[in-house]
Homo-oligomer: A and B are copies of this chain.
Amino acid sequence: MSARQPSPGELLDAAIAKDRVSLARLLSVVERGGEQTGELARLVYSSEPPYTVGITGAPGSGKSTLTNQLVRAARGGWTEPAEAVPQVAVLAVDPSSPFSGGAILGDRVRMQDHATDPSVFIRSMATRGHLGGLALAVPDAVRVLGAAGFPLVFVETVGVGQMEVEIASAADTTVVVVTPGWGDAMQANKAGLLEIADLFVVNKADRPGVNEARRDLEQMLDLSAATDWRPPVLTTVASTGEGVDELWAAVGSHRAHLAGTGALGRRREARVAQELRRVLVAKVLEEVQEIGRGGGFDEAVRAIAGGALDPYRAAEELLDAGRAALSGPRAGAAPR
């Protein structure tokens, strides 16, 4: 075994040849961020992105069990590309967890369901706190999985913050999972969920209150602006698999709708615009950190504290100086 680290390109070639260890290492590259991410992005953004299904909902709504069931349904019902065994990937995203990549218990527990199935790849992702974090890492990870040959990726988010909802809604089809009695718990977020949902699922439909939950959702949908796709409200019992095939069929209907109306392309362009904005922000924030480490920054702080300068003028001067310094070496540097 060579001591040399394989390059992202070598790892991607191995991942395409179904080497799962190389795929996992590529996702770690994405998770870490940094220089190799740019190199990897150049390799994977030329591929067709996989079809992405986002799954979001409150803690305890049964998202993980439902995702496992959807994987099962997809493995049975997925017919393109016309390979005998379509590959399915699950990204389980937990922005609140400092752990990542297979290290957490959840992964091991979840893997058991599909452990004997080499065509299912499950991976937890968590931020390591670098700039941009998960909002950058998840779309890159989806692209890596697409380039590695997965035509279908589930992105499940654990948690209900703004970030989780944003990540899950950056999918081709977004499934919002609620449970009977959800109305009170998610009152504050109803409008937001309505905005991102392509499908609603009332999970744990064997509990009391399922009809009220459905009616509540349908009334919300009645009151919202009419569009060419009204999110259907489905019911499932993920623990038994009840209703999962119907849910998977509804995902297929939504996919057909997007493809038929040209909305898929528009949606993906909007997502790319969002990604590009995030990368821009991350890049300029890196620049600010760089400036903060420089001697000019400390000088400026002393000048402001001494009343000789104000922070706005100081910021302009630092940015101008930083750019002047950058533009020289950067122009001549080899592309990373």
Which size bracket describes the interface of A in this complex? 35 or more
Known: A272-B304, A273-B301, A308-B46. A315 touches B265 (CB 8 A): no
| B280 near A288: Cβ-Cβ < 8 Å | yes
Cα–Cα, bound, A314→B319 (Å): 21
In the assembly, what is the distance between CA of A287 and CA of B288, in Å?
13
User: Pick the contact of A279 from B41, B47, B275, B312 — CB < 8 Å?
Assistant: B312
A57 to B318, CA, bound (A): 36
A residues 3-52 near B (Cβ < 8 Å) are 37-38, 41-42, 44-48
Q: Please provide the chain A residues from 291 to 336 with a CB less than 8 Å away from any CB of chain B in the complex.
A: 291-292, 297-298, 300-302, 304-305, 307-316, 318-319, 323, 327, 335
Residues of B within 8 A of A279 (CB): 311-312, 314-315
Residue A276, interface by CB 8 Å? yes
State in angstroms the CA–CA spacing of A48 and B42 once bound together. 52
Evaluate contact between B305 and A276: CB separation under 8 angstroms: no
B316 touches A283 (CB 8 A): yes
> Closest CB of chain B to A65's CB: distance in Å?
28
Does B280 lie within 8 Å of A312, measured CB to CB?
no
On chain B, the residues within 8 Å of A48 by CB distance are 307
A222-246 interface mask toward B, CB cutoff 8 Å, 1 = contact, 0 = none?
Answer: 0000000000000000000000000
A305-B46 in contact (CB<8A): no
Give chain B residues whose Cβ lies under 8 Å from the Cβ of A302. 269
A46-B291 CB under 8 A given contacts A284-B284, A302-B269, A315-B279: no
Contact of A311 with B46 in the complex, beta carbons under 8 Å: no
A163 in the interface, Cβ–Cβ < 8 Å?
A: no
Q: Lowest 4 A-B CB distances belong to which pairs?
A: A45-B310, A284-B284, A41-B310, A38-B312
**What are some 21 contacts across the A-B interface (CB < 8 A)?**
A38-B312, A42-B312, A46-B310, A48-B307, A265-B305, A272-B304, A272-B305, A273-B297, A273-B298, A273-B301, A276-B297, A276-B300, A276-B304, A276-B311, A277-B292, A278-B311, A279-B312, A279-B315, A280-B288, A280-B291, A284-B284
Known: A42-B313, A283-B316. 20 other contacts (CB 8 A): A38-B310, A41-B312, A46-B308, A269-B301, A273-B298, A273-B301, A276-B314, A277-B288, A279-B311, A279-B312, A279-B314, A279-B315, A280-B291, A280-B315, A280-B318, A281-B285, A283-B315, A284-B287, A284-B288, A323-B327
Q: Which residues of A contact B (CB under 8 A)?
A: 37-38, 41-42, 44-48, 265, 268-269, 272-273, 275-281, 283-285, 287-288, 291-292, 297-298, 300-302, 304-305, 307-316, 318-319, 323, 327, 335
